[in-house]
Homo-oligomer: A and B are copies of this chain.
Amino acid sequence: MNAGIITIGDELLIGQVVDTNSAWIATRLNSLGFAVERILSVSDTEQAICESVNEAIDRYDLTIVTGGLGPTSDDVTKDSLRRIFGGEMITDAQSLELIEIFCSKRGIAVTETNRKQADVPSSCTVLPNYFGTAPGMLFKKGIHMLVSLPGVPFEMKALFENEVTPLLKQLPVEGVIIHKVIHTFGIAESNLSDVLNEFEKSISPSIKLAYLPDPSGIRLRLSAYGNDRKLLSQQVDEAIEKLRATIPQYIFGYGETSLPEVVGKMLLSCNATVSVAESCTGGKISHLIVEIPGASSYFNGGVVAYSNQVKENLLGVKHQTLIKYGAVSREAVEEMAVGSLNLLSTDYSIAVSGIAGPDGGTPDKPAGLVWIAAASVNSLEVEKYIFSNDRSINIQRASYSALNMLRKLLLKEHPELKNIFEKV
């Protein structure tokens, strides 16, 4: 079955908000067997909403709409849907009760604005919102189903998981889609494409390979479409085995994962701790580590040594080193890594010093130059990188490169860790 996603809001069309809801919904719809054909963002006017919803009814089996349900006067989705699906506006008793409970929990008065959020078209089935004040709504027209959800991401997600997913699971689904993702780091897209040229020719024609590059690495996605789940699954698994044989040094994980998660699992598995000394990445590496739930088991902490004074006083980088080689040098980043290991009493450490840009570069040391070290009690690995002139990209690429150096150091010292990611 096919599906479409419509996100409503002028903030999307003037670029003030990036639409993250669609990607999240698309992932969920895919895993439920729906092929998402289009993702569309439109203005929050009745005309734009009605036009796009009517198109969607013709085009898809299922449409998910988000946004335009807020308490403010710029939200007109409910009136537009009532025009298309019919009925009159009525107050939904359960939603009103949920709004009253929601406000009383937070110790705020229930205003007329809040109360109006319980009004819905009589043509819909209400999907109760336990995390906010705007109820979800389910409409049907012929075989078409349309679900309208609030645009606030965590309310939308809770409603989708708790109310929409069970409904969709009951529907009969035709066809099978299998997506599998292989994560790589440390090779450019065009080089990877050349290396995988033979591989691409060798796999079954029902499988499609896509390259998804970003600063956290290049994800390779194998997608198989057909009717026989067992056969497709077997073909995809064979393709992954071939990939693994072709580029073992670049693959760091499979499926829904990330470098910070993989490194975390490795540290947990060998019962080791890590600390971080960051200059130009300014806390980004620590942040990536801490985003993973349970990081406290292996992460002691870090020092953001932005000024030279902090590099000297806290991390023990020698004054002479900073004078002779500068803060952005092999020597300084080595001392930072060792300093972090000692100061924070950890088994491993990573350290970064570079010029994030756009300013601050010199002919010798241009913006984008970054030195990274990964250290343990027994090893000290250092690499020099030259990234771009873009501050934000340099911070991201340096952060993920540092995590990848730690991954490689862990693999070197604990070869048995290779096996914890054998299964896809």
Chain A positions within 8 Å of B, measured between CB atoms, are 9-20, 22-30, 35-43, 48, 52, 70-74, 108, 111, 113-114, 133, 152, 154, 179, 181, 188-191, 193-194, 197, 200, 208-214, 219, 221, 223, 276, 278, 280-287, 289-291, 293-296, 299-307, 309-310, 314, 343-345, 356-360, 388, 390-393, 395
CB pair B393 A16 closer than 8 Å: no
Provide the bound-state CA to CA distance between A227 and B299, in Å: 58
A37 partner residues in chain B, CB cutoff 8 A: 13, 42-43, 48
CB pair A287 B289 closer than 8 Å: no
CB pair B42 A208 closer than 8 Å: no
CB pair B306 A283 closer than 8 Å: no
Q: Would you list 17 pairs from A and B whose C-beta atoms are within 8 A, ordered by A residue?
A: A10-B208, A13-B26, A15-B29, A16-B23, A17-B23, A18-B20, A40-B40, A113-B197, A283-B286, A284-B287, A290-B306, A291-B395, A296-B306, A296-B307, A299-B307, A304-B304, A310-B344
Provide the bound-state CA to CA distance between A197 and B343, in Å: 55
CB pair B38 A39 closer than 8 Å: no
Q: Which of B20, B189, B343, B345 touches A70 (beta carbons < 8 Å)?
A: B189
Q: Which of B72, B114, B359 touches A294 (beta carbons < 8 Å)?
A: B359
A16 partner residues in chain B, CB cutoff 8 A: 23, 27, 181, 212, 219, 221
CB pair A111 B14 closer than 8 Å: no
User: Which residue of chain B lies nearest to A43 when distances are taken between CB atoms in the complex?
Assistant: B37
* Identical copies in the complex: 2
CB pair B306 A303 closer than 8 Å: no
CB pair B41 A12 closer than 8 Å: no
CB pair A301 B301 closer than 8 Å: no
Min Cβ gap A386→B in Å is: 9
Min Cβ gap A33→B in Å is: 12
User: Which residue of chain B lies nearest to A35 when distances are taken between CB atoms in the complex?
Assistant: B13
CB pair A40 B38 closer than 8 Å: yes
CB pair B291 A299 closer than 8 Å: no
CB pair A23 B27 closer than 8 Å: no
User: Which residue of chain B lies nearest to A307 when distances are taken between CB atoms in the complex?
Assistant: B300
Min Cβ gap A316→B in Å is: 13
Min Cβ gap A231→B in Å is: 21
CB pair B306 A304 closer than 8 Å: no
CB pair B282 A295 closer than 8 Å: yes
Min Cβ gap A342→B in Å is: 11
User: Which residue of chain B lies nearest to A106 when distances are taken between CB atoms in the complex?
Assistant: B188
CB pair B30 A23 closer than 8 Å: no
Question: Given A283-B290, A358-B293, are A211 and B301 also a contact pair (CB < 8 Å)?
Answer: no
Give 18 A-B pairs besides A16-B221, A154-B388, A293-B359 with Cβ atoms closer than 8 angstroms: A10-B223, A13-B35, A13-B38, A14-B223, A15-B36, A16-B181, A40-B41, A71-B190, A74-B211, A113-B193, A154-B393, A282-B290, A283-B289, A290-B306, A290-B395, A301-B304, A301-B314, A303-B303
User: Which residue of chain B lies nearest to A13 when distances are taken between CB atoms in the complex?
Assistant: B36
Provide the bound-state CA to CA distance between A71 and B210, in Å: 11
CB pair B40 A39 closer than 8 Å: yes
Q: Which of B24, B291, B391 touches A291 (beta carbons < 8 Å)?
A: B391
The 10 closest A-B pairs by CB, nearest first: A282-B290, A283-B286, A15-B26, A283-B283, A15-B27, A301-B310, A283-B287, A302-B304, A39-B41, A15-B23
